[in-house]
Amino acid sequence: MRVSTTQYRFSHGRDPRGTGLWAFEMGAHGRPSETYFAQGTYAQARREATRQARAMDYDWVQVLPKPPGGLRAPTPPPHQENPAMRLTPDERADLQATENRRR
C-alpha cells in the first residue's frame, strides 16, 4: 500500500524522516477517514500504519504534517495522591537520606 507524503512535503519542504510520534490519516472511498498515531522511526511508523489500514480494509494512507512544536504523546491524567500513602516528616527525612546515600 502506498503512503502519500504530499501534505507533509508541502508543509515541511522535505520527505518525512527521523524518529518521533507520527500521525497518519487513512480511509476508504465512501467511508469517513481515521487518524492513526505511531511512535518510532518514520519507516517503522509507516509499516505499522499500513498494517493497520489493511486490517481495517482502508484504501489509502497519508502521513500528516506535524503541527508547530511537534506531536506529543497524550499525557496521563494527573496523579491523585492517596491520603493513606502520605509520609510523615520523619519518614520523608529517612527516604531522602536513603536517596542521598545512593548517589
In a domain, 34, yes or no: yes
Q: Which band of pLDDT confidence, cut at 50, 70 and 90, is reported for residue 68?
A: low
Q: How many domains does the chain have?
A: 1
Print the domain residue range for 52.
Answer: 1-69
Task: Give the count of alpha carbons within 13 A of 75, CB side only.
Answer: 3
User: Residue 1: helix, strand or coil by DSSP?
Assistant: coil
pTM over 0.75: no
In a domain, 60, yes or no: yes
Q: Do 64 and 25 contact (CB within 8 A), yes or no?
A: yes
In a domain, 42, yes or no: yes
In a domain, 47, yes or no: yes
| Distance in angstroms (rounded) separating the CA atoms of residues 10 and 1 | 21
Give 3-60 pLDDT, tens digit per residue: 999 999 999 999 999 998 999 999 998 888 999 999 999 999 999 999 999 999 999 9
In a domain, 22, yes or no: yes
* pLDDT value of residue 74: 61
Per residue, what are the HEC states of 70-102?
A: CCCCCCCCCCCCCHHHCCCHHHHHHHHHHHHHH
